[in-house]
Structure 1
Amino acid sequence: MLPTYKHEPFTDFTVEENKQALLDAIKKVESELGGHYPLLINGERIETEQKITSYNPSNKEEIIGTTGKATKDHAEQAIEAASEAFKTWRKVTPAERANILVRAAALVRRRKHEFSALLVKEGGKPWKEADGDTAEGIDFMEYYARQMIELAEGKPVNSREGELNNYMYTPTGVTVVISPWNFAFAIMAGTTVAPLVTGNTVLLKPASTTPVIAAKFVEVLEEAGVPKGVINFVPGSGSEVGDYLVEHPKTALITFTGSRDVGVRLYERAAIVQKEQNHLKRVIVEMGGKDTVVVDNEADIDTAVEAIVVSAFGFSGQKCSAGSRAVIHADVYDEVLEKVIEKTNALTVGNPAEPNNNYMGPVIDQAAFDKITGYIEVGKEEGKLVAGGKSDDSTGYFIHPTIFADVDPKARVMQEEIFGPVLAISKASSYDEALEIANNTEYGLTGAVITNNREKIEQAKYDFHVGNLYFNRNCTGAIVGYHPFGGFKMSGTDSKAGGPDYLALHMQAKTISEMY
């Protein structure tokens, strides 16, 4: 039996030894910049004519590395390899598959600062955010290993006299994993190992902005004992390779994390039954949010201020869980706003690889920079700019934390996912109105309510329509096994990653009945 699951502890970088360890890891990663990582298909490294180049968003001229770029032919080879490998992998015992995850977690844990340093360089993550990302990836492996052991025996069902009934889980098949750049290790690792440990084979197509860390993780899985063909590394164009994999008749399961528009399109394409397809595909999608921190007039003001700022500006707001909206009761609006502005203006922005440990780094690339700065111009028309608004893409993609106050609840900056360090604030005349505003978007991922009134807490449990609801804290930072994560409405399929129901989504339930 595996020991009881406990989440990976976060690193305290105020301890000089820990600070130096990460700085040393950053130097190590910098010494290896420019490396090339080919495709991995059926256990073989495959070179390609075209390559994907990964750049440092803090220093856009610096190349982190290159990976192969798969074509449709490569995708077909990978599908066939995964389909063949599935015949034997599905029969490997759940305990052995779980042990591979535990070994992989141990390998990453020994190199934790190295993976965090790569997140700093390739993903532009500040130290605390990078460390949390790596820790979460370890957590996914450890947690899912234990969950698989629990599910190995199936679930109890009744048997009649002279009859023995069993309810068991069986693997689904070839799985396409399309992972995001914002949690380039944690979500990439979690969405890869969940199908693996449940007996499925995987084609991993990571985000094109952060493919190197995915390549490094695939190497870990190989070292941990994942057989050839069971994990295949196929970075490539979404429109070419992504669509091909989603529509392929041998694809059984698709797991995607990314934008609403891409997720909806993928969902639609996966629903079409192709020629020679003999099953309906399963789809797990997580598509983002427009999340709200509600501040009641019976709130602790300092708690509210902390929750708003951390939710809005952690990792430059590049989280689907980011609290990009605050709705504040009129009675405390001016006081909370003033303190939020003060706290926001004290945040530092800069290259996260530097030892001064800036609170915010860059946004991920030029397209994100242009989109976010475009929304800042929209915000100037829709609200009152009270903090930030500055940006600089001369060396990296840096945008200062920006706040718009007195915004209409139906304004674009209150409705559309910006995915950057932009906070819109609206005033509510009552708690009921605040909840109405909180629910007025098409998303339903996370939310927070700051209040000391017990009745209002109970009301929000029923009336605030989000998948992850937090009271008297920020609305980001879900921990595997503690806060199963997934959203309502257009935030996705509410698949609750890191929770007790997640692995079952990757398997088929089978009823077996035997007469004596």
Structure 2
Amino acid sequence: MVVPYRHEPFTDFTVEENRKEYQDALDYVKGQLGQEYPLIINGEKVFTEDKTVSENPGNRSEIVGYVSKCSQELAEQAMQAADEAFKTWRKWDPAARANILFRASAMIRRRKHEFSAWLTYEAGKPWKEADADTAEAIDFLEYYARQILRLKNGVEINSRDGEHNRFDYIPLGVGVTISPWNFAFAIMAGTTVGPMVAGNTILLKPAKTTPVVAYKFMEVLLEAGLPKGVVNYIPGSSADMGDYLVDHPRTRFINFTGSKKVGLHIAERAAKVQEGQIWMKRMIAEMGGKDTMIVDNDADLELAAETIVYSAFGFSGQKCSACSRAVIHEDVYDEVLANVVAKTKELTVGPTYKDNSKFMGPVNDQEAFDKVLDYIEIGKKEGKLMAGGTGDDSEGYFIHPTVIADVDPKARIMQEEIFGPVVAFAKAKDFDELIDIANNTEYGLTGAVISNNREHIEQARQDFHVGNLYFNRGCTAAIVGYHPFGGFNMSGTDSKAGGPDYLLNFLQAKTTSDMY
């Protein structure tokens, strides 16, 4: 019997004891800053002269860690280690593989605030956002462990007199996980352990700005009993070793989360069959979004404003699910816009590692800071600046939450992914136009409808073309096992992380027929 899954609860920071425990974790992590971290290949630590410098985006002068960079030569060693480990790991009882995840999740749960504190320092996350990131990482381990227990005996198919038939799942081989910086723990962990618990071996290439939390996760996996070579930690340059692994004839699949540009680059390279390659590589990709919340003229307008603000500016809008487009019925447009602007101006911005007083922390790095400010300048020309519009990178990479009104639905800031604290407003004359505008991008990840009109809700259920659609709530904060996550079109390959069929991306079906 598989024990039912329940998601990890979030920490209530209104409780003084919880605030003190988190501050203690921040103090502990601060004492660990500036250390050097090796690669982990075949269970062994490998230090290199070439290092990635991970900085605190809320305090540019503070170094989180110096992380060894993987070269092509070392990437090849990691590939050979993973290839060799697969020979035995694929034969492990799936329940034994699941037990490693259960142990790892328990270890992380005991150190929950410590991992969240690393996210606050390395990713600039506010306490609430860091806590949710860590909780989601725990959820992925627990959920995928239970899913492999459901799949381990295959699926029942028909047999007949004199013939017994079975339909089983077997793992693919060596996979490359390329994880993002915005959910530096949750997505990194989920895209690693999902294929791993299914019996595959993994080359983990974490994002260049958040490699330390990935190293801390590797330590947990090894302590939990993961055999050598099953997961190899190899941060490094995409140009130097990322493309090398994507092209490699022994790579069986690539599990990618990141931008559309990089995702399409990987897909193109992965489609080419290399000399010695005897399979078509699978690619599982989540590539971002341009997510819309629509509000009709039969809606709770206070709820609309609250959810737009939280969905647009939580973690500085650095979520592929973030609300970057608010499309409002013309009858209520002015009221919703005014309320959103008022709430936005109340938000606080600043360093999150100092205390829990700031709603928003920094954006990821200088590149993100410059990109977002460039889009704000474009937005000023395409619409009317109502709030925010400025940034300060003298200490960290801080940008004020920005609202731009009266934007044409085809404008650049309504079409292009910004990945920052910017939301554009457009109006529509009726519900059909609300849906048409919501669907007018190349993406299809998340969306939300704020309405008390049941006919409109049912119309949106059919016509709003996104992978995750929410009614009368924000368009962010999917929970593993409750809101399987993944989108359509240029948002990715429609895979549903934290869903009942996710592990099937990393398995292949095998039919056996036994005559008697």
**TM-score w.r.t. length of structure 2:** 0.99
Q: Partner residue of 1:9?
A: 9
For 1:21 and 1:356, the matched residues in 2 are separated by 12
Q: Partner residue of 1:387?
A: 387
The equivalences for 1:16-165 within 5 A come to 16-165=16-165
Counterpart residue type for residue 155 of structure 1: V
Shift of 1:235: 0.3
Matched, 1:332 2:332: yes
> SS state of the match for residue 355, structure 2?
coil
For 1:389 and 1:285, the matched residues in 2 are separated by 32
For 2:145 and 2:394, the matched residues in 1 are separated by 45
> SS state of the match for residue 4, structure 1?
coil
For 1:102 and 1:318, the matched residues in 2 are separated by 30
> SS state of the match for residue 28, structure 1?
helix
1:239-291 residue CA offsets vs partner (Å, 9 max, x unmatched): 11110010000000110000000000101110110000011111100000000
Counterpart residue type for residue 359 of structure 1: F
Q: Partner residue of 1:238?
A: 238
**TM-score w.r.t. length of structure 1:** 0.99
Q: Partner residue of 2:312?
A: 312
Q: Partner residue of 1:270?
A: 270
For 2:29 and 2:21, the matched residues in 1 are separated by 12
Counterpart residue type for residue 146 of structure 1: R
> SS state of the match for residue 495, structure 1?
coil
* Count of residue correspondences: 516
The equivalences for 1:179-258 within 5 A come to 179-258=179-258
For 2:469 and 2:160, the matched residues in 1 are separated by 43
Unaligned runs of 5+ in 2: none
> SS state of the match for residue 324, structure 1?
strand
Q: Percent identity?
A: 67
Q: Partner residue of 2:419?
A: 419
Shift of 1:37: 1.1
Q: Partner residue of 2:291?
A: 291
Counterpart residue type for residue 438 of structure 1: A
- Paired residues of 2:254 and 2:282 also in contact (CA < 8 A): yes
Counterpart residue type for residue 463 of structure 1: D
For 2:129 and 2:447, the matched residues in 1 are separated by 20
1:74-96 residue CA offsets vs partner (Å, 9 max, x unmatched): 00000000000000000000000
For 2:248 and 2:356, the matched residues in 1 are separated by 48
For 1:344 and 1:362, the matched residues in 2 are separated by 16
Unaligned runs of 5+ in 1: none
Counterpart residue type for residue 108 of structure 1: I
Shift of 1:2: 4.8
- Paired residues of 2:126 and 2:356 also in contact (CA < 8 A): no
Shift of 1:355: 2.0
For 2:473 and 2:437, the matched residues in 1 are separated by 19
> SS state of the match for residue 78, structure 2?
helix
Shift of 1:43: 1.1
Counterpart residue type for residue 341 of structure 2: I
> SS state of the match for residue 312, structure 1?
helix
For 1:38 and 1:353, the matched residues in 2 are separated by 25
Q: Partner residue of 2:455?
A: 455
> SS state of the match for residue 311, structure 2?
helix
- Paired residues of 1:127 and 1:357 also in contact (CA < 8 A): no
Q: Partner residue of 1:444?
A: 444
- Paired residues of 1:247 and 1:274 also in contact (CA < 8 A): yes
Shift of 1:356: 3.9
Matched, 1:473 2:473: yes
- Paired residues of 2:321 and 2:445 also in contact (CA < 8 A): yes
Counterpart residue type for residue 121 of structure 1: Y
Shift of 1:49: 2.0
> SS state of the match for residue 148, structure 1?
helix
For 1:412 and 1:60, the matched residues in 2 are separated by 31
Structure 1 outlier segments of 4+, above 6 Å:
none
> SS state of the match for residue 293, structure 2?
strand
For 1:23 and 1:55, the matched residues in 2 are separated by 20
> SS state of the match for residue 323, structure 2?
coil
For 1:17 and 1:50, the matched residues in 2 are separated by 42
RMSD: 0.6
Matched, 1:502 2:502: yes
Q: Partner residue of 1:323?
A: 323
- Paired residues of 2:127 and 2:356 also in contact (CA < 8 A): no
Shift of 1:362: 0.2
